[in-house]
Amino acid sequence: MTAGVHVSGTTRLYAVLGDPVAQVRAPMLLNPLLAGLGADAVVVPVHVRPGDLADVVRGLTRAGNVDGLLVTVPHKAAVCALVDELGPAAAVTGTANAVRREADGRLLAENFDGLGFVRGLRAAGRPVRGAQVFVAGAGGAGGAVTAALLAAGAARVAVRDPDAARLAGLLARLGEGRLTGAYAAGPGDLAHAGIAVNATPLGMRPEDPLPFDPADVPPGALVADVVMKPHETALLRAAAALGRPVHHGIHMLQQQVPEYRAFFGWPAQRDAESPQ
Amino acid sequence: MTAGVHVSGTTRLYAVLGDPVAQVRAPMLLNPLLAGLGADAVVVPVHVRPGDLADVVRGLTRAGNVDGLLVTVPHKAAVCALVDELGPAAAVTGTANAVRREADGRLLAENFDGLGFVRGLRAAGRPVRGAQVFVAGAGGAGGAVTAALLAAGAARVAVRDPDAARLAGLLARLGEGRLTGAYAAGPGDLAHAGIAVNATPLGMRPEDPLPFDPADVPPGALVADVVMKPHETALLRAAAALGRPVHHGIHMLQQQVPEYRAFFGWPAQRDAESPQ
């Protein structure tokens, strides 16, 4: 378990916005880090229904001691319309998972999901350069993962999404961002993938169907999930039962921590590079 | 010092709104209590400038896991215009320090400052019934303290405020609430007070003038402050140096805790009645 955090009148706040929000890991991951850095700051969950996102973002960012927002499903795209500026990954993906207030009061949003995912693959010893990847989901996480994989040198990324307009929009933005190599997945792409990624929310609820069948993935190919809760999703359990190597969703968040630290200007780390 | 609080995705939030907010004691007072009650909830400070109050209240009360607001200077009057319903003490005083969301989504505001103050006097062994009281300040705290003193049987409460309209407004609302015995303080009232209360913010900053001269209070009369930080205000230091008994601001907050618990529906207390 995590150590407790101390809250007083001087404490600075970071809010994690999601719907649902009960599953978010950021408070348990980041609060011990902040405490270890000696920062008087706490990350709290904020449950925001889609119709309330604009009001909640406005209210929180008007508060003088709210220094940043972390944004998760289903708000990663909608939040981009509520800020003044998008960082490069947010501009390409049309989604963001972090918002900070600049000194002049303007709001800047950026997306660190993709960078965290690629860092996670590297930390697990999986080469990205030259890889052939299948990504299920062209939403916030799928776009971020695809853009970062391409920027990191993946050869081809086949993206599948039942929402054709969403998929086309992502491919267009990737092209505008000069990230080439992504395309709409066809029937054979899963069978040729070296890495197959679930970037949909499927797996958060016990009744969800699998985002894809891990039996269709070649033996030796990595089956990766971006869903963090449950830790062992039905997809990863099925893949492991078939002998496929698996990669858990928590890595994407853990490997974003150094990026958050830089983005939010947290003090330099005292101990290890990565939290446990 | 306080024990740390555990924050996860399921944690419910209470926000303390103030400007400034660094001095608020509620997080340190209430978080250990909530932890002791086994509640998965945390009280956090939220710094709100007056022009942003409406936006911040709207944003926070739209969040699904924000279960309540605590409201302090300078927002206690303004918040009343932002809710759907006022409790009886809020209606009389025109100020509130607690807001909760009802099951139907409506917002209810109430003021527990006065009740906390009177409870604090009783706990310190000072009788309120029949007392002659001088109150400096007809704002949020002053109105709440005056109304609760009258409701608890004080004989007369002389209220002083340089803002004549604010003072007249308070006296009119007290009359509408059928609380008789309050009047605008005249020159001799301080010299005849058995209890003299600072209910202004004077004393929060080192450069503040005294709200009244404790030398003008009769020997044996109690000099009380509602300012909580610093604990020893200049007024209380001066009064103590003159040999007057003093009553600290923290009592008003501490003695409100049982009221907050009932208002917000926190679980029944496991151990002692009052937190330390």
| DSSP per-residue codes, B235-253 | HHHHHHHTT--EE-THHHH
Q: Catalytic one among A76, A101, A160, A244?
A: A76
Residues A195, A218 contacting (CB under 8 angstroms)? no
B10 contacts chain A (CB < 8 A)? yes
Chain A hits for B75, CB-CB cut-off 8 Å, are: none
Of the candidates B43, B65, B66, which has its C-beta nearest A7's C-beta? B43
Question: Could you give the CA distance from residue A42 to residue B40 in angstroms, rounded to a whole number?
Answer: 15
Res. B193: pLDDT tops 70: yes
Nearest by CB: A59 against B21, B44, B58: B58
Q: Judge if ipTM > 0.85.
A: no
Mean pLDDT for B216-224 is: 96
Q: How much is the average pLDDT of B263-268?
A: 88
Residue A2 pLDDT exceeds 60: no
Contact yes or no for A45 and B8 at CB 8 A: yes
B positions 184-243 inside 8 Å of A (CB): 229
Mean pLDDT (whole number) for B230-234: 96
B144 and B113 in contact (C-beta within 8 Å)? yes
Question: What pLDDT, on the 0 to 100 scale, is given for residue B10?
Answer: 97
Task: Tell which wins on pLDDT, A69 or B229.
Answer: A69
What's the mean pLDDT in A1-16?
Answer: 86
Q: Are B71 and B98 in contact (CB under 8 A)?
A: yes
- On whether any CB of chain B is under 8 Å from the CB of A64, the answer is yes
In one-letter notation, the amino acid at residue A5 is V
What are the start-end ranges of the H helices in chain A?
A: 26-36, 53-62, 88-93, 113-123, 140-151, 164-176, 234-241, 250-254, 257-264
For Cα atoms A223, A228, A230, give the angle at the middle one, nearest 5 degrees.
95
B172 part of contact set with chain A, CB < 8 Å: no
Q: What proportion of chain A, given as a percentage, has pLDDT over 90?
A: 86
Identify the CA nearest to A131 among candidates A105, A152, A100, A115.
Answer: A152
Give CA–CA dist A91/A173, Å, rounded: 8
With cut-offs at 50, 70 and 90, classify the pLDDT of residue B272: very low
Q: Which of B190, B192, B171, B188 is nearest to B235 (CA)?
A: B190
pLDDT at B101: 94
Interface test mutation site (partner A, options B1, B8, B13, max chain A beta carbons within 10 A): B8
Q: Average pLDDT, stretch A171-187?
A: 93
Confidence class for position B238, pLDDT limits 50, 70, 90: very high
pLDDT above 70 for A265? yes
* Residue B95: how many other CB atoms lie within 10 Å: 28
**A22 shares contact with chain B (CB less than 8 Å):** yes
* Average pLDDT of the segment spanning A182-193: 95
Q: What is the average per-residue pLDDT within B202-216?
A: 97
Q: What phi and psi values does residue B158 have, to the nearest 5 degrees?
A: -90, 120
User: How far is Cα B176 from Cα B169, in angstroms, rounded to an integer?
Assistant: 11
B245: its two tokens: 């008994």
Nearest Cα residue to B10 out of A66, A18, A34 = A18
Are B72 and B17 contacting, i.e. CB atoms less than 8 angstroms apart? yes
Q: Give the residue on B whose Cα is nearest the Cα of A4.
A: B4
The catalytically annotated residue of B41, B68, B76, B83 is B76
Q: State the average pLDDT over residues B19-24.
A: 95
**pLDDT, tens digit, 9 for 90 and up, residues A58-78:** 999 999 999 999 999 899 999
Instruction: Give yes or no for B12 touching A (CB within 8 A).
Output: no
- Cα separation, A78 vs B70, in Å, equals 30
pLDDT of residue B212: 97
Active site residue A76: yes
- By CB atoms closer than 10 A (0-12, 13-18, 19+), residue B54 is middle
Cross-strand pairs, B211: none
| Partner-chain residue, chosen from A6, A45, A63, that has the shortest CB–CB distance to B11 | A45
How many Å apart are CA B234 and CA B229, to the nearest integer? 11
Cα–Cα distance measured from residue A186 to residue A134, given in angstroms and rounded to the nearest whole number: 10
Flag whether pLDDT at A274 surpasses 50: no
pLDDT tens, position by position, A44-58: 999 999 999 999 999
Q: Beta strand A98-101 with A66-71: parallel, antiparallel or unpaired?
A: antiparallel
DSSP β-bridge partners for residue A91: none
The proportion of chain B whose per-residue pLDDT surpasses 90, expressed as a percent, equals 86
> Can you tell me the mean pLDDT for A177-196?
94
> B60 and A15 in contact (C-beta within 8 Å)?
no
Q: What is the percentage of chain A residues whose pLDDT exceeds 70?
A: 96
Of B1, B25, B65, the CB nearest to A45: B65
| pLDDT value at residue B3 | 59
- Distance between B187 CA and the closest CA of chain A, angstroms: 38
Contact A44 B43 (CB under 8 A): no
Q: What is the per-residue pLDDT for B82?
A: 98
Full set of structural domains in chain B with CATH: 12-111 (3.40.50.10860), 114-252 (3.40.50.720)
Is residue B1 predicted with pLDDT exceeding 80?
A: no
Sort B208 into a burial class: Cβ within 10 Å, 0-12 / 13-18 / 19+: middle
pLDDT digits (tens, 9 = 90+) for B91-141: 988 899 999 999 899 999 999 999 999 999 999 999 999 999 999 999 888
Distance between CA atoms of residues B119 and B128, nearest Å? 10
Chain-wide mean pLDDT for chain A? 93
- Continuous H helices in A219-267: 234-241, 250-254, 257-264
Q: Are A159 and A167 in contact (CB under 8 A)?
A: yes
The yes-or-no verdict on residue A273 having pLDDT over 80 is no
pLDDT per position as a tens digit, A76-117: 999 999 999 999 899 988 899 999 999 899 999 999 999 999
pLDDT tier, B269 (very low <50, low <70, confident <90, very high otherwise): low
Cβ B44–A13 below 8 Å, yes or no?
A: yes
Chain A touched by B21 (CB under 8 Å): yes
How far is Cα B98 from Cα B96, in angstroms, rounded to an integer? 6
Question: Using a CB-CB distance cutoff of 8 angstroms, which residues of chain A are in contact with residue B27?
Answer: 7-9, 11
To the nearest whole Å, the CA of B131 is away from the closest chain A CA by: 35
What is the Cα–Cα distance from A142 to A252, expressed in whole angstroms?
Answer: 12
Number of residues that this document lists for chain B: 276
Please indicate if any CB of chain B lies within 8 Å of the CB of A182.
Answer: no
